[in-house]
Structure 1
Amino acid sequence: MELLNTELLQKMITKIVRTVVREELAKRGEVIDQKMFNRKCAAKYLGVSGTYIDTAVKSGQLDPTLPGNGETKFYLREDLDRFAEQGKDYLQRVI
């Protein structure tokens, strides 16, 4: 009997879902190809408040890629995606 590799299956499903969501957003004209975000745009991209971003940075959960001039911080899309995925994993453990 062959066992199902759930980790590999999860990665495949995640890749397929991302592709489908991206295609759907493209149809709507809402694809975000932006690579770097300031605080306000990062919050909008994640669907959270700017205060939430500030809290994540202060707690060490999210690091700005380019700290800017001390006031303006910039975040890479890949880092924001990783942060969102980690939050999803945390929610699954809590439920």
Structure 2
Amino acid sequence: MQSNIIIQQPLPKSANANLKESAGILLEMEMMGIDPTPFLEIAARDLANQYGAIALDYSLQIESDFKDEGNMEAAAIWNAITAQLNNLEKTGNLIAH
């Protein structure tokens, strides 16, 4: 016996769409008294591990893209990630390969 059941799966969201949805989380953390700095540092280290020497350029480009789209909240988060990348680089704690 055949069935006419059609299973529809939602299309995957773009990376930027996922970032836009999660952008407010850092503001919520601050309002709850949670310091987002460790999470920003993890994001910065992850970018450095994935993109090596171009991690800073990549982070700046994402920030710029969000500004161009008018999403200042997401741009501010990427600005904070960029600041963490700069801090890791200045302190010598960033090992880019």
TM-score, structure 2 length as denominator? 0.26
Bigger radius of gyration among the two: 2
If each structure's strand is expressed as a fraction of its own residues, which one has the higher value? Answer: 1
If each structure's helix is expressed as a fraction of its own residues, which one has the higher value? Answer: 2
